Structure 1
Amino acid sequence: MARRTKEDAEQTRKQLIDAARTVFHQCGVSRSTLEKIAQAAGLTRGAVYWHFKDKAELFFAMREDAFRPMVERTDAFLFSESYANPLDAIEASLKEFFRVLEDCAVVREVFEIMISRCEYVDEFASVQEEATRPAREFLEKIERIYQRAADQGMLRAGLDPVDSARDTWAFTSGMLHLLLECQLHGGLDQEIPRMISTHMGLRRRA
């Protein structure tokens, strides 16, 4: 019975996360209410408060639900020991990131919510630092890999590992925003692997 109760609770939590993603995407985060989310999930508002103390906590649970498997996939490439050149690992990880974005509608929706449907005001004014944590963690990871490439003599002479990582971080963020927000670049998704290869090629030692 206890196991069944736990399974029911996990299922209810998942229903709320899925409903929150749908409502946030349709209405925008600031105009979404816990009541709307409960209705979309077919549950009561009390069920929401049983699992989440407020909308911000539900927002971060939604993000974590989508991002955890994505990060596991990209990190598997980034930290793989099968690449003799650390820059190959960065390139493969970036390509996998955009492959996940193309293949997984849930991940794409969450990024769209965070980029264009969330205003960091009112109850969200104090959570912006936490909201940007995944981007900071991505930057820290590629800084380590760029430093490894420099230590192994794989980074082009004259390039600073930290600056190179920041440039790649900005490049990736820019492509993500273009892909999700701009309708003027039809077929951009087909060009991304080539653009990533070109970006990384400029960093490789001749």
Structure 2
Amino acid sequence: MVRAGLTAAKLTEAAAEMADEVGLDRVTVSALARHFGVKDASLYSHIKNLRELRVRIALLGGAEMTDRIAAAVAGRAGKDALVAFADAYRQYALAHPGRYAATQLQFTPEEIADSAVVRRSAGLTYGMLRAYGLAEPDLTDAGRLLRAAFHGYIHLELSGGFGHPRTVQESWDRSLDALHVLLENWPARPDRSPR
């Protein structure tokens, strides 16, 4: 018997909570069906498959994280914006590791084509970086650098990869100081004109 009131949104929220509790890889259609006390087949009238469920978790997590970042950076520029952006990003990832993991999956353009979340997230990142005087293609390069630095740090932190006695927070703060200096002194692109 299908439990009344199941919707794609309710399934997504429950799957996101499950991902945070047990890890994204352990979220399955079967596990979600058991959670709601229904048969697997009952869920397929709301979601197509596990892949769609993961896209939904990623978009939910991305929207939540973007909202937190937007609130943190509002009215800030330069180093203040960078630190607020980075701290909001990290705090969300540490509080919601399963949702965060979903946001790091690779999606096809078709899966996220209509996503306002992706556009808003990119807009926030580029807006913060423009305050450093960057323009394309440096905006993309700097955005990729920040994402790699934040994600790498968070991944190591979540997996217990920092064993040195210095606090992880102190290293995070100094890393942000270094990224700020780098962004303020972004290297000029070499002249690629023929000689």
Aligned length: 173
| Correspondence 1:175 to 2:175 | no
Residue 189 of structure 1 and its aligned partner are, at CA, apart by: 4.7
1:148 to 98, 108, 131: 131
Aligned-residue sequence identity (percent) comes to 17
3-state SS of 1:150 partner: coil
Residue 37 of structure 1 and its aligned partner are, at CA, apart by: 2.5
Residue 140 of structure 1 and its aligned partner are, at CA, apart by: 5.8
Match for residue 192 of structure 2? none
Deviations 1:130-184 (A, max 9, x none): 58x9889756643343223317xxxxxxxx5544333223211221221233534
User: What 5-or-longer segments of structure 1 have no aligned partner?
Assistant: 121-126, 152-159
1:111 to 100, 109, 122: 100
Residue 73 of structure 1 and its aligned partner are, at CA, apart by: 0.9
Match for residue 190 of structure 2? none
Give, in whole Å, the separation in 2 of the partners of 1:91 and 1:198: 11
Match for residue 37 of structure 1? 32
CA contact (8 A) 2:83 2:176 kept: yes
* Cα distance change of structure 1 residues 185 and 200 upon mapping to structure 2, 3 Å threshold: farther
Match for residue 52 of structure 2? 57
Greater fraction helix: 1
Match for residue 201 of structure 1? 181
CA contact (8 A) 1:25 1:113 kept: no
With normalisation by structure 2, the TM-score equals 0.64
CA contact (8 A) 2:90 2:150 kept: no
Give, in whole Å, the separation in 2 of the partners of 1:16 and 1:42: 16
Give, in whole Å, the separation in 2 of the partners of 1:27 and 1:172: 20
* Cα distance change of structure 1 residues 181 and 112 upon mapping to structure 2, 3 Å threshold: farther
1:67-78 residue pairs with structure 2 within 5 A?
67-78=62-73
3-state SS of 2:161 partner: coil
| Correspondence 1:166 to 2:144 | yes
RMSD, matched Cα: 3.8
CA contact (8 A) 1:18 1:62 kept: no
User: What 5-or-longer segments of structure 2 have no aligned partner?
Assistant: 186-195
Give, in whole Å, the separation in 2 of the partners of 1:90 and 1:62: 26
CA contact (8 A) 1:33 1:55 kept: yes
CA contact (8 A) 1:150 1:161 kept: no
